[in-house]
Amino acid sequence: MSTTIFTAREYDPEKERRRRQRIIAVVSILVILAALGYAFRNWPYEHRVENFFNVLEKKDFKAAYAIWQNDPAWEQHANKYPNYPFSEFYRDWGPGGEWGVISSHQLAGSAAMGSGVIVAVRINGRVEPTRLWVEKKDKTLTFSQY
């Protein structure tokens, strides 16, 4: 026998309540996930800068330069980076650089702008943070112009 509007099932308020609760739960979970995604949208770039400073604190300048250029094999083709060679990098980030021996750092925030993310870092407890630019497409680091 087929169902028509004259032989429809009886209304079950409990079933409708469960259905409404499931819809609310799914929508709530989606909203929470969207908020978390937005809150942590710059996390991969902040993590990259965090790794860079952790390596600098260990005084492994060659590994730090590899992170800076996003090229673990940079020593095999060092001439590929004439704009910021390792010697200049060492002058900036080594013991004689602007920050001296880097012994501590703290991420102070980040902001996405165009093709990259600016990550602010307080080095050695300084009040004024240093700002680094992380290029989104190739994950290289540079000094931020902003």
Domains in the chain: boundaries = 43-143
pLDDT of residue 2: 64
**Confidence band of 132 (pLDDT split at 50, 70, 90):** very high
| Distance between CA atoms of residues 135 and 87, nearest Å | 22
How do residues 5-26 score in pLDDT, each as one tens digit?
Answer: 677 777 788 888 999 999 999 9
Q: Which CATH number fits domain 43-143: 1.10.10, 3.40.630, 3.20.20, 3.10.450?
A: 3.10.450
Name the residue with tokens 């026998």: 1
Query: The whole model's pTM is what?
Result: 0.79
**pLDDT for 43 beyond 80:** yes
| Distance between CA atoms of residues 119 and 136, nearest Å | 12
CA 99, chain centre distance (Å) = 23
